[in-house]
Amino acid sequence: MPEIKLNCPLPLQYEQIVMAHGGGGRLMQQLLDSLIQPVFSNPLLNQKHDSAILNVNGSRLAFTTDSYVVKPLFFSGGDIGKMAVCGTLNDLAMSGAKPLYLSCALIIEEGFPIKDLQRIVESMQQAAQQAGVLIVTGDTKVVDHGSGDGVYINTAGIGLIGENVNVLPANIQVGDSIIINSDIARHGIAVMLEREGMNFDSSITSDCADLSGLVQDLLQTGIEIHCMRDLTRGGLASCLIELAATSHHAIEISEAALPVHQDVNSACEILGFDPLYIANEGCFALFVPKAQTEQALSALHRHPLGQQACRIGEVKAAHPRGAVTLQTAMGISRVLDLLSGEQLPRIC
């Protein structure tokens, strides 16, 4: 009898793409791990970093790309243009790179107002100028009316990594302190309130910001930075779960240490959202040796985007699959897991 071989290269739960596949949660991770990552697999991609790190003629370059489909296009604290520039700058910064150049690709729906497009590209240029980078290449496409949602933006970026800078998920070590630079969940709530026309009698604004200057200040202090990751889709929890799995470590964070703006926390309680899983656009997690915790906090506090910086937890032990636990205010240990998708879709 001939040998029967079963071939199941795509162990996915769905035959078609659903919104959750782009939400930064479990379904997106399954899509990447089961389909996209195996097809494109190579040593640079398999680092699972925010940017690919390329060795070119003795220099190390960081290269990254991202796409933005936020709805609405304009919201309190930012817009799709500012987010597209800052998001790509932040991905470069998380690799320890100084951003140099960006690209801009626009996919515009027929009928989109020219005045809104001008507002968006001017916002992009302002953000780029403030960061000291140039938008040097791009592309523009127009799709039929009803085939898009106003405008989508893709940006790619190139940055230069300095000597002795080695920031990678694989460098996370037992005992590392985990620090974040700002309060969490503000961006996702700001976008959601704008989208749904809700008025909570509050002034919640997105934290959308370029973190590259803050990161460069940190690097110049000589702090031994093991890893950095910006807390975008899926929020703080998803970020830490992914890093724990990639680095094969157990991570523990403290609920009491997490900074959440009072208005944001109130909105989450009313709407039933968990701020741990809500996206940010100006907040990142930093892994440093425990002995350098105070030095790192001091450096962060000197920068406007780091004045709320605090230590939220530590890397506890090696773990074959990675694990993240939250010590609640009641003293209960809660295991954090990836959500299927995203609490708030289309927020970046």
φ/ψ of residue 151, rounded to 5: -155, 140
172-197 mean pLDDT: 96
Distance, CA of 26 to CA of 32 (rounded, Å): 10
| More confident: 10 or 304 | 304
Residue type present at position 283: C
Tell me how many helices (H) and strands (E) the chain has.
9, 14
- The yes-or-no verdict on residue 59 having pLDDT over 80 is yes
CB atoms within 10 A of CB 318: 12
Q: What is the pTM assigned to this prediction?
A: 0.93
Q: Is 142 exposed, middle or buried (0-12, 13-18, 19+ CB in 10 A)?
A: middle
CA distance 348 to 162: 29
Query: Which tokens hold the place of 225?
Result: 């930075």
d(CA 52, CA 295): 28
> Do residues 307 and 180 make contact, with C-beta atoms less than 8 angstroms apart?
no
The closest of 11, 75, 313 to 208, measured between CA atoms, is 75
Q: CA 347 → CA 28, 93, 151, 155, 235, distances in Å?
A: 15, 21, 14, 16, 11
pLDDT value of position 2: 40
pLDDT tens readout for residues 170-182? 999 999 999 999 9
| 177's tokens | 């302190």
Give Cα 275 to chain centroid, integer Å. Answer: 15
Question: CB neighbours of 314 closer than 8 A, spacing ≥ 6?
Answer: 175, 176, 177, 178, 251, 252, 290
pLDDT level of residue 345 (50, 70, 90 thresholds): confident
pLDDT for 6 beyond 70: no
Q: Which of 28-37, 274-283, 328-337 has the highest mean pLDDT?
A: 274-283
Check pLDDT > 70 for residue 9: no
Q: For residue 195, give the nearest of 23, 18, 73, 21 by alpha carbon.
A: 73
Tell me what pLDDT residue 279 has.
96
Give the phi and the psi of residue 32 in degrees, each rounded to 5. -65, -50
Q: What is the pLDDT of residues 121-134, one digit of tens each?
A: 999 999 999 999 99
What is the arithmetic mean of pLDDT over 10-33?
Answer: 81
Taking residue 289's Cβ as centre, other Cβ atoms within 10 Å add up to: 16
Strand partners of residue 106:
140, 153
Decide if 332 contacts 19 (C-beta within 8 A): no
Please give the Cα distance from 71 to 283 (Å, whole number).
20
Q: Is the pLDDT of residue 94 over 90?
A: yes
| CA-closest candidate to residue 48, choices 303, 200, 258, 244 | 244
In the chain, beta strands by DSSP E: 52-56, 59-68, 74-75, 78-79, 97-109, 134-143, 151-161, 177-180, 227-230, 249-254, 284-288, 310-318, 323-327, 333-336
Q: Identify the pLDDT of residue 273.
A: 95
Model confidence pLDDT, tens digit, residues 275-320:
999 999 999 999 999 999 999 999 999 999 999 999 999 999 999 9
